[in-house]
Structure 1
Amino acid sequence: MAKIDGKYITVETEAPDYPVTVTEQPVEKGVNLVDHVQAGAWTMSLSGLIVGPDADKTRAYIVAAKDKGKVVRYVGRNRFTGVITAFSTSHDYTVANGMTFSMDLREVRIATSSYVATLPAPVKAQAAAVANKGTQQPKNKSKSKGKGKGGKKKTASTKSNKATSASSVINKPTRAPIKPGNKWGTGNLQ
């Protein structure tokens, strides 16, 4: 008896396959030159019986695992972990309380994300604050706006605010400080 994710199945044959891909270069005489060998994904073909009172539940589990691409663990004469790539059953008069089946398993490698939500402490320490933010536009702090007819009376203080806000718009924008020795701040751009 064998198990697939803890479900009992009767396996008659197991056929593991360990393929490799070989690249060849032709030569003038003799056998081609082999310059690279790359291992392929392992596969295993199984055939046997699913019998007993839970045969239908076992078949339903295997079909669901195949459709979802779930990684299953097979333990029989060989051990194998992978996904089910093919599964077929045959229901005939020779098996009274179950069915015959054939199944193909394939080895998979699952990649994990290298994204990290927060930086570790040593990496945070290496990140420097921005030293030169370029030319900045001054912020206009005056929020008082004169209303038209029937609004507030214009007083001397509102007139002086308008004069200062108008002069701040006319003035040149302020520059952010530049570190000493920086080639951009000295005017030497060579």
Structure 2
Amino acid sequence: MAVTTPLPGDFALTRIEGITGRLVAAGQALVGDAAPVQHAFVYVGMGKVVQAMPGGAELIPIEEASPVVQWSSGKFDLTGDQRRKIEQEAAALVGTPYSFLDYVSIALAHYRIRPVWVRDFVADTGHMICSQLVDEVYLRAGVHLFDDGRLPGDVTPGDLWKLLNPRRVTSTDRDLRRLAYG
């Protein structure tokens, strides 16, 4: 049954139309994160979401966001305090700059060719793509979405999709992910 009314603190996965969506989908496929979604945002209640966009993270009415493919609702046992913290942290990131370089950094990490200076530069800029914003607000609320050894922020919308739609993960899959992310 599809969730139609998310709770504050839930995140959503969506598709992006046009050339941008096709480029994100192709990039995700190249790093093994192929998924039917290319975007993510956080629901902060009162009919509003926070999403990272090329012009900077924004707070918008949910009706203006891309149609939701899947909500995280019911996938995580979040306390009321964690949900409130996720809302607060998402709102605090409104205006955070966006950078396509983060996609390149994640791809380089996947292929184990990311120089430390690239990783450090991306981390120091404070820029975030949509999936990084989701991961960051959850981390700030004390909820670690990933336990596979990746660095915070090394997250694509495809990673979030896989988190919500797990398949049987083999030890080889885990070993490869640990090699890719350190």
TM-score (norm 2): 0.20
User: Which structure's residues are more often strand, by fraction?
Assistant: 1
* Structure with higher RCO (Cα < 8 A, 6+ apart): 2
User: Which structure's residues are more often helix, by fraction?
Assistant: 2
The structure with the larger Rg is 1
